Amino acid sequence: MKKYVGLLSAAGIAGLVSVGSAHAEGQVEVLHWWTSGGEAKAVGELKSAFEAEGGVWIDSPIAGGGGDAAMTALRARVVAGNPPTAVQLKGPGIQEWADQGALNDVQDVASAENWDAVLPPVLAAIMKYDGKYVAAPVNIHRVDWLWGNPQALKTAGIEAMPTTWDEFNAAADKLLAAGIIPLAHGGQPWQDATLFEDVVLGVGGADFYRKALVELDQAALTSDTMVKSFDQLRKLRGYLDPNFSGRDWNLATAMVMRGEAAFQIMGDWAKGEFLAAGKVPGTDFLCAPTPGDGYVLNSDSFTFFKVKGDENLKGQQVLARLIMSPGFQETFNLAKGSIPARTDVLLDKFDDCAKRSHEDLLAAIKDNTLVPSMAHEMAIPRSVRGEFLDLVTQFFNSDMSSEEAATKLADAVLRAQ
């Protein structure tokens, strides 16, 4: 409600809520962590669509990339018996909250609009609990993207985006020699883990990624392939500027925009930042998958918590319908940098990076190289993910050997299970 304080008197606020309560299109308080430029623009599209239907939208943003701060706030709200109407949530976290009996389903909306026919099966399964939809996906994000500044690459004599880690390392060495920061990065655990999982996919392939980061296989976690993955992660650490610690991801994206850095490894929400700044794909910035074969899947979705009041329940149904409408999926994802969760939305208005993402997604589904993101909470429970983040960040900021890192990681995962 903070948004309205200072704009309306207490009586005015009460009147606004009263109108929303009586209105057929309901009311929602939405907890999310979309606060940067491209993200804020995207969530603004959802807010506008909801309000256009006559509903009352109460915005509850919690800053912090990756959503860790938002999840802390959510737990406090639920314990206090005051959950938000709708919450940005994803992956196994959806199942965990549903297991606790905290979620309403929106199956009536899903059945009426035949969501099963338009969502990739792997994504639909994540959105359901006991066969009913308890979440609505707004998009599909690709995590394994490499963003480049074409002028910086040209200055260093680099003719193309690297397709192997050896090529990346060689390009980074050229950039260092030219006085350009090779890799823009923010030293936050979730960002370190993003680098790590993209490296694991590139070094080991999709089958190894699944074994290690999804199935948590001890042999994979302690294997030579995992040691080689940590070796490459250590190489990346050497290509950063000295001030990377604590930097937010969108500030790293801005470094690439300005040409201070040549590359960033980040999901395609980074593209939303480029587009929000008026940058043109292929001219002002370049996109390519990180080295290796596969596709690391992330998806933003909203869950619907058990709340009281007809206006809140109605708001949940309306919000679910809006999120999955083809028009909103197009508008939202054009702003966010991702691609629609619905497979039937035309991509005519989307840029070449988005079209590449869609093509690679379909190929990955066919080739069984589509893998869920560990770093972005699509693959494993938060407790186990936390062990990955802790160990990877510890490794990234120390002289720990790759062999020791693999052993410690396997031990930590075992303890958390």
pLDDT band at residue 18 under the 50/70/90 scheme: very low
pLDDT value at 359 more than 80: yes
| Domains parsed from the chain with CATH numbers | 2-139+300-336 (3.40.190.10), 142-297+355-416 (3.40.190.10)
pLDDT of residue 141: 94
pLDDT of residue 13: 31
State how far the Cα of 251 lies from the Cα of 21, in Å rounded to an integer: 40
- Cβ–Cβ < 8 Å for 267, 250: no
pLDDT value at 286 more than 70: yes
State how far the Cα of 52 lies from the Cα of 96, in Å rounded to an integer: 33
The pTM is what?
0.83
pLDDT of residue 38: 75
pLDDT of residue 24: 54
pLDDT of residue 130: 96
Opening angle at CA 45, ends 42 and 49, nearest 5: 155
Q: Indicate the range of 64-68, 109-113, 254-258, 322-326 predicted with least confidence.
A: 64-68
Burial category of 137 from C-beta neighbours within 10 Å (exposed 0-12, middle 13-18, buried 19 and up): buried
Helices and strands in the chain: count of H runs, count of E runs: 18, 14
Question: What DSSP element (H or E) covers 212?
Answer: none
pLDDT value at 1 more than 60: no
For the segment 132-171, what is each residue's pLDDT rounded down to a tens digit?
Answer: 999 999 999 999 999 999 999 999 999 999 999 999 999 9
Secondary structure letter of residue 213 according to DSSP: I
Phi, psi of 181 (to 5 degrees): -65, 120
Q: Indicate the range of 115-124, 188-197, 394-403 predicted with least confidence.
A: 115-124
pLDDT value at 25 more than 50: yes
pLDDT band at residue 389 under the 50/70/90 scheme: very high
| Assigned token pair, 371 | 């893998």
pLDDT value at 10 more than 90: no
Burial category of 305 from C-beta neighbours within 10 Å (exposed 0-12, middle 13-18, buried 19 and up): buried
Share of the chain above pLDDT 90, in %: 81
For the segment 289-341, what is each residue's pLDDT rounded down to a tens digit?
Answer: 999 999 999 999 999 999 999 999 999 999 999 999 999 999 888 888 899 99
How much is the mean pLDDT over the chain?
91
